[in-house]
Amino acid sequence: MHGHAASEREAGAFCGIVGRHPSMQAIFEVIRRVAPTDATVLITGESGTGKELVAAAIHRLSRRAAARFVPVHCGAIPEDLLESEMFGHERGAFTGAVASRVGRFKLADGGSIFLDEIGEMSPKLQVKLLRVLEDGRFEPVGAIATQQVDVRIVAATNRSLEKAVASRQFREDLFYRLRVVPIEMPALRRRREDVPLLVEHVLELLVAKGLPRYQVDPAAMDVLSGYAWPGNVRELRNLLEQMVVLGRPECVIEVRDLPPHLLAPRDVDAPGAGMPWQFGPAGIDFYREMEAIEDRIIAQALRLSGGNKKEAARLLRVNRTTLLEKLKRKRAAGSPLAALLGPPPPAPVAGDEADDVRPALDVGVPTLFDASI
């Protein structure tokens, strides 16, 4: 067990959650501290950031680990059925209730229950949940007798419960009762440094499922690390599984294998798109960031033109000579855009435009022209 924990730390993992970014390390420390207690935890963050993994880790490290961990996805269950799903019902309590049924809270007795999408819960159920939080008591639908359970509650939401409280859609007393220990999950675009670790982790999981062992070449990894991932870790995981299932026999993921939307420039003002840079306490290097944006735009134009610089210049609405000068300057400066162009092309014969089409692009060899988006 200790050996497994040590190997996880070396891989940047904690209870199956992968991340070396400081924000993730801080979350791991909160999990370690809160797990031995019975404090209620509210996990917030965008969809796909791993909120259920955090809830499961809290259960796994708690004194309740030998009992059940019961997830309830409140937003996926129709409102008229959610009360029965959570608290159970008696036979004949409603149309179709042909037999009594034990609810999720009873199933989780002695263990932990994870209430995902808690912000979707109706006001009526919020009152019932508040009572369970206070004294562990509830009545199944259609029952007279009160039941009591000993359950640790972990809740999660991708909504702003503060705004829901302000608009009277969510009870203020329930909000503060749930938010004893808050954990905010960062979006993947806020911890891009973790993308290579996550890629390696997911590929290993796919091997464990019986799929071939794949590798990602450096240029493709640059693309994956630079993408904003609006669907977060879930989107990355699903994409990698798709690429392994449908991949080529070489078992290497290259830039040419990536879907077009990963290569296209993103509207950084679009909801969920995220910024392609991050402001730290010291600010950003403006000129370096602008150079990187220019590299990505040029790379996209060259990709769309198949490496034809004349066509790329037309797409960019600049003169071909302007584009050639930029590429020459970037190569001389050691820009990442030029790093994978290979050696400078031979001087063209007068009247010959052979340098307009790079053979490397024609035969599908990945270049940073493809990778810089």
What are the tens digits of pLDDT across the range 27-70? Answer: 999 999 999 999 999 999 999 999 999 999 999 999 999 999 99
The predicted pLDDT at position 271 comes to: 39
Amino acid code (one letter) for 307: G
Residue-level pLDDT at 9? 55
The fourth-level CATH superfamily of domain 2-186 is: P-loop containing nucleotide triphosphate hydrolases (3.40.50.300)
Range in 20-24, 66-70, 240-244, 306-310 the model is least confident about: 306-310
Amino acid identity, residue 270? A
Give the chain's length.
Answer: 373
pLDDT per residue as tens digits for the range 128-161: 999 999 999 998 888 888 899 999 999 999 999 9
| 3-state DSSP assignment of residue 46 | coil
More confident residue, 271 or 45: 45
Q: What is residue 147's DSSP assignment?
A: E
214 in Cβ contact with 203 (< 8 Å)? yes
Least confident of 75-79, 256-260, 330-334, 339-343: 339-343
* Stronger pLDDT, 154 or 76, i.e. the higher one: 154
> pLDDT class for 361, splitting at 50, 70, 90?
very low
Q: What is the pLDDT of residue 256?
A: 86
Give the rounded distance of the alpha carbon of 71 from its chain centre: 19
- Rounded CA-CA distance 254/366 in Å is 7
Q: What is the mean pLDDT of residues 284-313?
A: 78
% of the chain beyond a pLDDT of 70: 80
pLDDT tier, 201 (very low <50, low <70, confident <90, very high otherwise): very high
> Which one, of 222, 226, 246, 242, lies nearest residue 234 by Cα?
242
The amino acid that residue 23 corresponds to is: S
Q: How far is CA 46 from CA 94, 239, 279, in A?
A: 36, 18, 20
Q: Output the CA torsion 249→251→256→259 (10° steps).
A: 100
- Name the band, by pLDDT with cuts 50, 70 and 90, for residue 79: confident
pTM of the predicted model, to two decimals? 0.70
Asked: is 190-263 a CATH 3.20.190.10 domain? The reply is no
Which residue in 73, 81, 109 sits closest to 97, CA to CA? Answer: 81
Residue 194, pLDDT above cutoff 80:
yes
Q: Determine the 3-state secondary structure of 266 from DSSP.
A: coil
- Name the amino acid, one letter, at 283: G
Which residue type, as a one-letter code, is found at position 74?
Answer: C
Mean pLDDT of the chain: 82
CB atoms within 10 A of CB 222: 21
Structure confidence at residue 5 (pLDDT): 54
Residue in the structure block whose two tokens are 């891989």: 11
Give Cα 58 distance to the centre of its chain.
19
Q: Which of 6-10, 82-86, 108-112 has the lowest mean pLDDT?
A: 6-10
Does residue 365 register a pLDDT over 90? no
